[in-house]
Amino acid sequence: MIIAQQKPVKDIAAMISECKKVLLVGCAGCVTVCLSGGEKETEVLASSLRIMRKMEDKPLETVTYTATRQCDPEYVAMIDNYTKDVDAIISLACGVGVQYLAERFTDKWVVPALDTKFIGGSTVHGNWEEKCGLCGECILHRTGGICPIIRCSKSILNGPCGGSQYGKCEVSKDVDCAWQLIYDRMKALGKLDKLMEFHPPKDWSKSRDGGPRKAIREDVMID
Protein backbone atom coordinates (compact mmCIF):
# COMPACT_ATOMS: atom_id res chain seq x y z
CA MET A 1 0.00 0.00 0.00
CA ILE A 2 0.94 3.65 -0.25
CA ILE A 3 2.27 4.95 3.04
CA ALA A 4 1.55 8.57 3.88
CA GLN A 5 1.86 10.73 6.96
CA GLN A 6 -0.10 13.79 7.96
CA LYS A 7 1.52 17.19 7.66
CA PRO A 8 1.67 19.36 10.79
CA VAL A 9 -1.78 20.85 11.47
CA LYS A 10 -0.29 24.36 11.41
CA ASP A 11 0.99 23.81 7.87
CA ILE A 12 -2.42 22.63 6.71
CA ALA A 13 -4.10 25.56 8.49
CA ALA A 14 -1.74 27.96 6.72
CA MET A 15 -2.84 26.60 3.32
CA ILE A 16 -6.47 27.47 4.03
CA SER A 17 -5.98 30.58 6.16
CA GLU A 18 -8.25 32.69 3.94
CA CYS A 19 -11.05 30.12 3.73
CA LYS A 20 -14.26 30.18 5.73
CA LYS A 21 -15.63 26.79 4.75
CA VAL A 22 -13.61 23.78 3.71
CA LEU A 23 -14.32 20.22 2.66
CA LEU A 24 -12.02 17.57 4.10
CA VAL A 25 -11.96 14.43 1.99
CA GLY A 26 -10.59 11.24 3.51
CA CYS A 27 -9.79 8.12 1.54
CA ALA A 28 -10.83 4.62 2.56
CA GLY A 29 -7.93 3.06 0.67
CA CYS A 30 -4.26 2.82 1.61
CA VAL A 31 -4.23 5.87 3.88
CA THR A 32 -6.98 4.39 6.03
CA VAL A 33 -4.89 1.27 6.52
CA CYS A 34 -1.78 3.29 7.39
CA LEU A 35 -3.88 5.41 9.76
CA SER A 36 -3.20 8.77 8.19
CA GLY A 37 -6.19 9.73 6.06
CA GLY A 38 -9.22 7.60 6.87
CA GLU A 39 -12.58 8.64 8.25
CA LYS A 40 -11.29 9.02 11.79
CA GLU A 41 -8.19 11.00 10.86
CA THR A 42 -10.34 13.24 8.65
CA GLU A 43 -12.67 14.08 11.52
CA VAL A 44 -9.81 14.60 13.97
CA LEU A 45 -8.14 17.00 11.54
CA ALA A 46 -11.43 18.84 10.98
CA SER A 47 -11.89 19.23 14.72
CA SER A 48 -8.28 20.39 15.19
CA LEU A 49 -8.66 23.01 12.47
CA ARG A 50 -11.96 24.24 13.89
CA ILE A 51 -10.48 24.62 17.37
CA MET A 52 -7.41 26.37 16.00
CA ARG A 53 -9.42 28.81 13.93
CA LYS A 54 -11.88 29.54 16.69
CA MET A 55 -8.99 30.47 18.94
CA GLU A 56 -7.83 32.90 16.25
CA ASP A 57 -11.35 34.35 16.19
CA LYS A 58 -11.71 33.25 12.58
CA PRO A 59 -14.20 30.37 12.83
CA LEU A 60 -13.95 27.70 10.20
CA GLU A 61 -16.84 25.63 8.92
CA THR A 62 -15.93 22.10 7.94
CA VAL A 63 -17.60 19.36 5.95
CA THR A 64 -16.13 15.88 5.99
CA TYR A 65 -16.50 13.03 3.55
CA THR A 66 -14.53 9.84 3.12
CA ALA A 67 -14.35 8.53 -0.41
CA THR A 68 -14.09 4.82 -1.07
CA ARG A 69 -11.00 5.73 -3.09
CA GLN A 70 -9.74 9.06 -4.36
CA CYS A 71 -7.86 7.45 -7.23
CA ASP A 72 -10.91 6.41 -9.24
CA PRO A 73 -13.08 8.96 -11.09
CA GLU A 74 -16.37 7.30 -10.14
CA TYR A 75 -15.68 7.71 -6.43
CA VAL A 76 -14.39 11.25 -6.85
CA ALA A 77 -17.62 12.12 -8.68
CA MET A 78 -19.56 11.18 -5.57
CA ILE A 79 -17.98 14.17 -3.81
CA ASP A 80 -19.59 16.67 -6.23
CA ASN A 81 -22.49 17.64 -3.98
CA TYR A 82 -20.23 18.44 -1.06
CA THR A 83 -18.05 20.90 -2.96
CA LYS A 84 -20.62 23.49 -4.04
CA ASP A 85 -20.13 26.19 -1.41
CA VAL A 86 -16.70 25.40 0.02
CA ASP A 87 -13.70 27.68 -0.43
CA ALA A 88 -11.17 24.85 -0.46
CA ILE A 89 -10.85 21.09 -0.45
CA ILE A 90 -8.35 19.37 1.83
CA SER A 91 -7.45 15.91 0.59
CA LEU A 92 -6.27 13.32 3.08
CA ALA A 93 -5.28 10.94 0.31
CA CYS A 94 -1.90 10.24 -1.22
CA GLY A 95 -0.62 12.52 -3.96
CA VAL A 96 -2.75 10.63 -6.47
CA GLY A 97 -5.98 11.50 -4.70
CA VAL A 98 -5.06 15.16 -4.39
CA GLN A 99 -4.48 15.35 -8.14
CA TYR A 100 -7.73 13.56 -8.96
CA LEU A 101 -9.63 16.08 -6.85
CA ALA A 102 -7.76 19.01 -8.42
CA GLU A 103 -8.53 17.67 -11.89
CA ARG A 104 -12.24 17.25 -11.22
CA PHE A 105 -12.86 20.40 -9.18
CA THR A 106 -11.03 22.85 -11.40
CA ASP A 107 -12.44 25.96 -9.72
CA LYS A 108 -11.53 24.85 -6.20
CA TRP A 109 -8.38 25.34 -4.17
CA VAL A 110 -7.29 21.75 -3.47
CA VAL A 111 -4.58 21.19 -0.87
CA PRO A 112 -2.81 18.09 0.48
CA ALA A 113 -3.01 17.19 4.16
CA LEU A 114 -0.57 14.31 3.85
CA ASP A 115 2.98 13.74 2.73
CA THR A 116 3.10 10.64 0.55
CA LYS A 117 6.12 8.66 1.65
CA PHE A 118 6.53 5.32 -0.08
CA ILE A 119 5.12 1.95 -1.10
CA GLY A 120 5.43 -0.52 1.72
CA GLY A 121 3.77 -2.48 4.46
CA SER A 122 3.61 -2.71 8.22
CA THR A 123 5.91 -4.74 10.43
CA VAL A 124 3.97 -4.13 13.62
CA HIS A 125 1.05 -1.78 14.28
CA GLY A 126 2.40 1.73 13.78
CA ASN A 127 5.59 0.79 11.97
CA TRP A 128 5.79 0.81 8.17
CA GLU A 129 8.66 -0.06 5.89
CA GLU A 130 9.43 0.67 2.27
CA LYS A 131 9.41 -2.51 0.19
CA CYS A 132 8.91 -1.65 -3.46
CA GLY A 133 10.77 0.79 -5.68
CA LEU A 134 8.17 0.77 -8.49
CA CYS A 135 10.91 -0.02 -11.01
CA GLY A 136 8.44 -1.35 -13.55
CA GLU A 137 9.93 -4.82 -14.02
CA CYS A 138 9.98 -7.10 -11.00
CA ILE A 139 13.09 -9.18 -10.34
CA LEU A 140 12.10 -10.62 -6.95
CA HIS A 141 12.14 -14.17 -8.39
CA ARG A 142 15.90 -13.75 -8.80
CA THR A 143 16.58 -12.30 -5.39
CA GLY A 144 14.72 -14.57 -2.99
CA GLY A 145 11.77 -12.22 -2.64
CA ILE A 146 13.90 -9.36 -1.32
CA CYS A 147 14.00 -6.22 -3.43
CA PRO A 148 17.50 -4.85 -3.98
CA ILE A 149 16.14 -1.86 -5.93
CA ILE A 150 14.63 -0.25 -2.85
CA ARG A 151 16.10 -2.17 0.08
CA CYS A 152 19.70 -1.73 -1.03
CA SER A 153 20.61 1.90 -0.41
CA LYS A 154 22.49 1.97 -3.72
CA SER A 155 19.97 -0.18 -5.64
CA ILE A 156 22.84 -2.45 -6.62
CA LEU A 157 21.82 -5.49 -8.64
CA ASN A 158 24.96 -7.64 -8.50
CA GLY A 159 25.73 -8.21 -4.85
CA PRO A 160 26.76 -6.16 -1.82
CA CYS A 161 29.08 -3.18 -1.93
CA GLY A 162 32.02 -2.61 0.40
CA GLY A 163 29.76 -0.80 2.85
CA SER A 164 28.11 -4.04 3.97
CA GLN A 165 29.36 -4.83 7.47
CA TYR A 166 28.09 -7.63 9.69
CA GLY A 167 24.85 -7.75 7.69
CA LYS A 168 24.18 -4.03 8.03
CA CYS A 169 24.32 -1.21 5.52
CA GLU A 170 26.87 1.56 5.93
CA VAL A 171 24.02 4.08 5.70
CA SER A 172 22.79 3.12 9.19
CA LYS A 173 23.21 0.32 11.65
CA ASP A 174 19.41 0.05 11.63
CA VAL A 175 19.36 -0.80 7.92
CA ASP A 176 19.92 -4.40 6.91
CA CYS A 177 22.16 -5.00 3.93
CA ALA A 178 19.65 -6.20 1.32
CA TRP A 179 22.27 -8.32 -0.40
CA GLN A 180 23.17 -10.04 2.86
CA LEU A 181 19.47 -10.85 3.29
CA ILE A 182 19.28 -12.07 -0.29
CA TYR A 183 22.38 -14.25 0.11
CA ASP A 184 21.17 -15.73 3.41
CA ARG A 185 17.75 -16.52 2.00
CA MET A 186 19.03 -18.03 -1.23
CA LYS A 187 21.45 -20.13 0.79
CA ALA A 188 18.66 -21.34 3.08
CA LEU A 189 16.61 -22.22 0.01
CA GLY A 190 19.56 -24.06 -1.55
CA LYS A 191 19.45 -21.76 -4.54
CA LEU A 192 22.78 -19.96 -4.33
CA ASP A 193 23.53 -21.10 -7.87
CA LYS A 194 20.74 -18.78 -9.05
CA LEU A 195 22.83 -15.83 -7.94
CA MET A 196 25.57 -16.94 -10.29
CA GLU A 197 23.36 -16.62 -13.37
CA PHE A 198 24.16 -13.87 -15.80
CA HIS A 199 21.49 -11.34 -16.67
CA PRO A 200 21.53 -8.45 -19.09
CA PRO A 201 21.53 -4.97 -17.54
CA LYS A 202 18.17 -4.01 -16.09
CA ASP A 203 15.89 -2.18 -18.50
CA TRP A 204 15.41 1.11 -16.68
CA SER A 205 13.25 2.45 -19.50
CA LYS A 206 10.40 0.67 -17.70
CA SER A 207 11.04 2.75 -14.61
CA ARG A 208 10.78 6.56 -14.35
CA ASP A 209 12.74 7.04 -17.51
CA GLY A 210 10.54 8.62 -20.15
CA GLY A 211 8.22 10.58 -17.90
CA PRO A 212 4.97 9.53 -16.22
CA ARG A 213 4.04 5.94 -16.92
CA LYS A 214 0.76 4.49 -18.12
CA ALA A 215 -0.64 0.99 -17.82
CA ILE A 216 -3.22 0.16 -20.45
CA ARG A 217 -5.32 -3.00 -20.57
CA GLU A 218 -7.77 -2.98 -23.41
CA ASP A 219 -9.22 -6.32 -22.31
CA VAL A 220 -10.79 -4.76 -19.23
CA MET A 221 -11.92 -1.49 -20.79
CA ILE A 222 -15.66 -0.88 -20.91
CA ASP A 223 -16.89 0.55 -24.21
Partner 1 sequence: MQYAPSVRIIEMPCSGTIDHRVLLQTFEDGADGVFVAGCMEGDCHFLKGNFRAKKRVRQVKAILDEIGFGGDRLDFFNLSAAQGQRFAEIVKTMTDRVMELGPNPLKLKNAKKEGGAA
Residue ranges that bind partner 1, judged by CB under 8 A? 8-10, 40, 43-44, 47-48, 50-52, 54-55, 57
CB of 146 to partner 1, least distance (A): 33
Q: Which one, 9 or 156, has the nearer CB to partner 1?
A: 9
DSSP 14-54: HHTTT-SEEEEEEESSHHHHTTSSSHHHHHHHHHHHHHHHH
CB of 134 to partner 1, least distance (A): 32
Q: How far apart are CA 142 and CA 189, in angstroms?
A: 12
CB of 55 to partner 1, least distance (A): 5
Nearest to 135 by CA among 125, 123, 143: 143
CB of 192 to partner 1, least distance (A): 44
CB of 212 to partner 1, least distance (A): 35
CB of 31 to partner 1, least distance (A): 16
Nearest to 104 by CA among 65, 71, 62: 71
Q: Which one, 52 or 119, has the nearer CB to partner 1?
A: 52
Give the neighbor-by-neighbor strand order of the sheet with 127-132. Answer: 2-6, 114-124, 127-132
Q: How many CB atoms lie within 10 A of CB 52?
A: 15
Q: Which one, 10 or 214, has the nearer CB to partner 1?
A: 10
Nearest to 79 by CA among 26, 141, 127: 26
Q: Which one, 128 or 183, has the nearer CB to partner 1?
A: 128
Q: Which one, 6 or 143, has the nearer CB to partner 1?
A: 6
Q: How far apart are CA 186 and CA 174, in angstroms?
A: 22
Q: Which one, 11 or 137, has the nearer CB to partner 1?
A: 11
**CB 92 within 8 Å of CB 37:** yes
Q: Cα angle at 186 between 184 and 190, to 5 degrees?
A: 115
